Chains A and B, each alone.
Chain A
Amino acid sequence: MNKILIVEDEDALRLLYEEELAAEGYDVTTVRDAEGALDLLGRERFDLIVTDIRMPGRDGVELITQIVGLRKDIPIIINTAYQSYKDDFMTWAADAYVVKSSSLVELKARIKDLLAR
Chain B
Amino acid sequence: MTSPSELRKDPISGRWVIIATERSKRPDEFRSERWPPRRKPGAALFCPFCPGNEAKTPPEIYAVPGVGASPGGAGWRVRVVPNKFPALTRGETPIRNCRGLFESLDGIGVHEVIIESPDHDKDLPDLPPDHVRDILSACQSRFRSIETESQYAYIQLFKNKGPEAGASLSHPHSQIVATPIIPKRVKEEIFASERHFRRTGKCLFCRTLVEETEAGERIVRANGHFAAIAPFASRFPFEMRIFPRRHSPYFSAAAPEEIAALGEILQAVLSTLKSILDDPPFNIILHQGPHPARAREIWPDIDRIAHWYIEIIPVLIRIAGFEWGTGFYINPVVPEDAARFLRG
B46 touches A65 (CB 8 A): yes
Q: B86's closest neighbor in chain A, by CB?
A: A86
B215 lies within 8 A of chain A by Cβ:
no
Chain A residues with CB under 8 Å of B84's CB are 91-92, 97
Q: B38's closest neighbor in chain A, by CB?
A: A88
Chain A residues with CB under 8 Å of B86's CB are 86
Q: A61 to B155: give the CA distance in the assembly, Å.
A: 30
A93 touches B56 (CB 8 A): yes
A87 touches B46 (CB 8 A): no
B55 touches A72 (CB 8 A): yes
Known: A86-B85, A92-B48. A62 touches B168 (CB 8 A): no
Q: A58's closest neighbor in chain B, by CB?
A: B43
Which A1-32 residues have a C-beta within 8 angstroms of B? none
Q: A91 to B56: give the CA distance in the assembly, Å.
A: 10
Q: A78's closest neighbor in chain B, by CB?
A: B85
Which applies to chain A's interface (DSSP): helix, strand, loop or mixed? helix
B44 touches A86 (CB 8 A): no
Q: A33 to B12: give the CA distance in the assembly, Å.
A: 51
Chain B residues with CB under 8 Å of A70's CB are 45
Q: Which of A62, A69, A87, A89 contacts B49 (CB 8 A)?
A: A89
B45 touches A89 (CB 8 A): no
Q: A92 to B179: give the CA distance in the assembly, Å.
A: 23
B53 lies within 8 A of chain A by Cβ:
yes
Encode contact with B along A81-108: 1 for CB under 8 Å, 0 otherwise.
0000011111111000100000000000
A69 touches B85 (CB 8 A): no
Q: A66 to B39: give the CA distance in the assembly, Å.
A: 14
A68 lies within 8 A of chain B by Cβ:
yes
B168 touches A87 (CB 8 A): yes
B44 touches A90 (CB 8 A): yes
Which B33-77 residues have a C-beta within 8 angstroms of A? 39, 43-46, 48-49, 53, 55-57
B87 lies within 8 A of chain A by Cβ:
yes
B46 touches A86 (CB 8 A): no
Q: Give the interface of A toward B (CB within 8 A).
A: 62, 65-66, 68-70, 72, 86-93, 97
Q: Give the interface of B toward A (CB within 8 A).
A: 39, 43-46, 48-49, 53, 55-57, 84-87, 113, 168-169, 171, 173
18 A-B pairs whose Cβ atoms sit less than 8 Å apart in the complex: A62-B39, A62-B43, A65-B46, A68-B45, A70-B45, A72-B53, A88-B169, A89-B49, A89-B169, A89-B173, A90-B44, A90-B46, A90-B169, A91-B84, A92-B84, A93-B48, A93-B56, A97-B84
